[in-house]
Chain A
Amino acid sequence: MPAAVAQRSRVLTALDAVRDPELDEPITTLGFVSSCVVSAAGDVVVRLRLPTYFCAPNFAFLMVADAYDVVAALPEVRHADVALEDHFASAAINAGVAARAGFAVSFEGEAVGELDELRRTFITKAVLAGTDQVCRPLLAAGLDPAALTTMTLGNMPPSAQLERLCRRRAELGLRTDPAAPLLVDPGTGEPITGATVSLHLGKARLTRVGIEANTGICRGMLRHRYATTGAGEEEDEE
């Protein structure tokens, strides 16, 4: 394999780690990477695209900044050029990311802070949705919801969903050791106990449904907007 091809593959793998914060899916599988070109000398050009011209600029900024960071961090990359196309705030986002200026400076006068709190809010939602993914099969098999309050992460059968839940919990600083309670309030880390379990599981399912519905709409909009398949894009199930 020529070096540039192998490098492109490594760049795309790195981009798999960048997620749409709202949808909690990699920008690659969502089709948001419109192109990825790597030169033999290690100069990388990545272009990103979104489902609409008016997608929220704060989430767009996070995706472009994260993509820049993962690409620039690869040892074989000499120069990273990562930019968002066809978006109302492309100019401000691209200039801000290229200058590593942060969000507040990139949108001077329109923003007052950085996006850490926003990101945390959406990882919290991802933990709730992930809780539903892990618990739903057990409930469908007839497990009493109350039984979940005494279970630990170590009691769960291994699955991709469980690994994903643990990764999201780790990002929030929540416990992920095998003895950690399965059900926790993602805001506080406190275990879910007693009668609140039904409400907790209801919110978890609702959050998952919300994210899935949004993802469906975003994928449909992207397909209407662009005829081409993105680098690393995966077809969705429905």
Chain B
Amino acid sequence: MYEKDGEKYFVVDSHMHFWNAGPDNWVPGAEQYAKGWIECFHAYQSLAPKETHWPIEKFMSYTEEDLMKDVFEDGYVDVAIFQPTYLKEWYKEGFNTTEKNAALGEKHPGMFVHNTRFDPRDGDVGLEDLKANVDRYGSRGVKLYTAEWNAGSRGYKLTDTAAYRYLEKAQELGIKNIHVHKGPTIWPLDKDAFDVSDVDHAATDFPELNFIVEHVGLPRIEDFCFMATQEPNVYAGLSVVIGGLMAARPRFFAKVMGELLFWVGEDKMTFGSDYAIWEPKWQVEGFVDWDFPDDEAYSDYPRLGTAGKKKILGLNAAKLYDIKVPDELQLDHGQPAAQDDAKLVTQ
């Protein structure tokens, strides 16, 4: 919970990780990829305020104690949602697995939501693993990293036949939330790996599932926003937006927020720190303090008030995951405020 100026904010960190990316976990022969991956993540951290930067050694192998302190003790987070990414071709035990997350989460009942993942290229075995993880960890959500390398394939689309089979199975198992994370590779490589049109199709065909597109489809914000206006079950995961732009590029951050508020709306945006890329503390504090710059260039965008910030920081994700929110942290009257009518900026 974060409190500022008499307002209390229930904070759900809907996209965070507990990884081991140290050399002890690198697959022999694939060291360059394991190293390249974590160095890339570390470069993202450089977009945060300087005083929150970590040395690469700590960044590769932070501890349980680091996580509990940064996320809960200092970071104001009430409930954190683990989003696993396996990358087992590069990391021996996986980069960030359901099991590793749950081993920590189970020590702290009520503080974590244990999402799992699937990879549609894993065939029947993968379906069994998915069921086992849902049974074992009570997962209500999955994280899909579509650019994962798997036996010579450089990625997949949600519209692949096998992916639909997995989505059907996930729905049958009680999964509600599909967090989609696009990356730089896909099969075939000549296509745009970041394209989100497959999410559009899947969202239409699986209306009972929610599709949270992480980092709002970055670097395809425009395609994501336009798709999200048309699909009621598509959400904007703000990981990377706040972490990567709010401190480093405040004017671009304001414009991206303006576009998201206009096209997607504050009821469908969810905060995620992307820890350990970025610590939640400065993100939560900065976001609560944030407003559009006092400049004509931003005057057409919908405003974001305290109620909207409460929704984005926690209440929207709490709804998606049926997380109980204490009465005093609900919006007034326990009802979400009506979303401002979006007006086309040019009118």
A residues whose Cβ falls under 8 Å from a Cβ of B? 22, 51-58, 88, 103-104, 107, 109-115, 117-118, 121, 125, 128, 139-140, 145, 197-199, 201-203, 205-207, 209-210, 212-214, 216-217, 220-221, 223-225, 238
Contacts and interface: CB of A to CB of B under 8 A. Distances in A.
Given A213-B252, A217-B249, A53 B39 contact: yes
Interface residues of B, number: 50
B27 to A, nearest CB: 14
A206 B221 CA distance: 8
Given A139-B346, A220-B46, 16 more contacts: A53-B36, A56-B194, A57-B189, A88-B33, A107-B189, A110-B154, A110-B189, A114-B190, A118-B192, A198-B344, A206-B221, A210-B219, A213-B221, A214-B221, A220-B244, A220-B249
B305 interface: no
B37 A54 contact: yes
A198 B347 contact: yes
B212 interface: no
Nearest to A23: B219
A56 B248 CA distance: 23
Contacts of B193: 56, 58
A57 B225 CA distance: 25
A113 B188 contact: yes
A199 B346 CA distance: 9
B89 to A, nearest CB: 12
B221 A57 contact: no
B189 A197 contact: no
B138 interface: no
Contacts of A214: 218-219, 221
Top 9 A-B residue pairs of the complex, sorted by shortest distance between their CB atoms: A53-B36, A224-B46, A210-B221, A56-B184, A216-B249, A198-B344, A210-B222, A111-B189, A214-B219
B40 A52 contact: yes
B49 to A, nearest CB: 13
B259 interface: yes
B277 interface: no
Interface in B244-282: 244-245, 248-252, 255-256, 258-259, 262-263
Contacts of A206: 221-222, 225-226, 259, 263
B184 A57 contact: yes
Contacts of B345: 201-202, 205
Contacts of B347: 145, 198
A212 B190 contact: no
A182 to B, nearest CB: 14
A217 B244 contact: yes
A2 B37 CA distance: 43
Given A53-B39, A88-B33, A213-B252, A202 B190 contact: no
A115 B190 contact: yes
Contacts of A225: 39, 43
Interface in B333-347: 344-347
Contacts of B226: 203, 206
Nearest to A87: B36
Given A53-B39, A88-B33, A207 B190 contact: no
Contacts of B184: 54-57
Contacts of B32: 88
A225 B56 CA distance: 12
Contact of B185 (A57, A114, A125, A224): A57
Nearest to B251: A238
Contact of B245 (A22, A205, A216): A216
B190 A201 contact: no
Contacts of A199: 344
B343 to A, nearest CB: 9
B297 to A, nearest CB: 8
Interface in B24-43: 32-33, 36-37, 39-40, 42-43
A1 B165 CA distance: 67
Given A202-B344, A225-B43, A112 B263 contact: no
A198 B345 CA distance: 8
Nearest to B37: A54
B79 to A, nearest CB: 28
B136 interface: no
B43 A51 contact: yes
